[in-house]
């Protein structure tokens, strides 16, 4: 299913970061399809933000397959996100307690399907990236550790937090949530990344899974 069709049928929350970029890229060029261009563009954006640099049209067009029109769309979209959510302000967002993370994740409380996100932090507990690792008719028991480890490693994270919603509105952790948390905790320890917490997002409330349990 194409990202455009997926957006129409399932909503914007069903799209991955790569699929969102694909919608902005639109089409490819000879020798490079739009999925490949989108992947390169997403890597460029993440690296630029991580390095603290500006994302502008002149830099964006250096990505093979990205012209001025596409670059303008992407830069405008990022700037709109910055203005609306303030995620990429020059002042770093520090996550010092679970409540700070909840303020970022609470937009999941009205989702009709279960979604699993992670928050990547550096060694100073500063926000690096929010990544979606699973969406749809799933539960935590079906999420493989590698789906969490990959974005955590790619973003050079020192710490991560996990959050997923319960569409029922009840934020009480299930037995599956506890088992999943323990499995992810063990996997992250092997690569030197610390799991700070696992938040369960309900309707106007949230709970955490005891990661030390």
Write out pLDDT tens, residues 148-195. 999 999 888 999 999 999 999 999 999 889 999 999 999 999 999 999
pLDDT of 213 reads 44
Tell me what percent of the residues of the chain surpass a pLDDT of 70: 83
pLDDT above 70: residue 7: yes
Distances (CA, A) of 27 to 16, 22, 180, 204: 18, 8, 38, 40
How far is the first Cα of the chain from the last one, in angstroms, to the nearest whole number? 40
In this prediction, residues 56-60 reach a mean pLDDT of 79
Ranking 137-141, 143-147, 173-177 by mean pLDDT, the lowest is 137-141
In this prediction, residues 90-94 reach a mean pLDDT of 66
pLDDT of 158 reads 92
In this prediction, residues 67-82 reach a mean pLDDT of 77
pLDDT above 90: residue 113: no
Distances (CA, A) of 128 to 16, 162, 207: 17, 14, 23
Write down the pTM of the prediction.
Answer: 0.59
Question: Sorting pLDDT into bands at 50, 70 and 90, what band is 90?
Answer: very low
Distances (CA, A) of 15 to 11, 23, 81, 115, 169: 8, 10, 16, 11, 22
Helices and strands in the chain: count of H runs, count of E runs: 8, 5
Ranking 50-59, 125-134, 195-204 by mean pLDDT, the lowest is 50-59
Distances (CA, A) of 11 to 77, 85, 86, 163: 18, 20, 23, 19
């Amino acid at each position: 299913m194409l990202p455009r069709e997926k957006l129409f049928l399932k909503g914007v929350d069903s799209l991955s970061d790569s699929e969102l970029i694909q919608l902005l890229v639109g089409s490819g060029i000879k020798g490079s399809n739009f999925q490949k261009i989108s992947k390169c563009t997403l890597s460029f954006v993440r690296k630029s933000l991580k390095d603290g640099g500006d994302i502008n049209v002149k830099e964006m067009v250096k990505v093979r397959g990205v012209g001025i029109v596409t670059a303008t769309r992407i830069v405008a979209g990022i700037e709109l996100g910055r203005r609306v959510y303030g995620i990429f302000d020059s002042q770093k967002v520090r996550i010092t307690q679970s409540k700070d993370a909840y303020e970022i994740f609470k937009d999941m409380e009205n989702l009709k399907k279960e979604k699993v996100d992670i928050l990547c932090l550096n060694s100073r507990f500063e926000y690096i990236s929010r990544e979606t690792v699973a969406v749809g008719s799933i539960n935590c028991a079906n999420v493989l550790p590698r789906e969490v480890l990959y974005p955590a490693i790619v973003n050079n994270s020192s710490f991560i937090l996990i959050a997923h919603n319960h569409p029922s509105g009840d934020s009480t952790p299930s037995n599956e949530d506890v088992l999943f948390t323990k499995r992810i905790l063990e996997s992250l320890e092997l690569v030197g990344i610390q799991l700070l917490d696992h938040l369960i997002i309900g309707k106007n409330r949230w709970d955490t899974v005891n990661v030390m349990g």
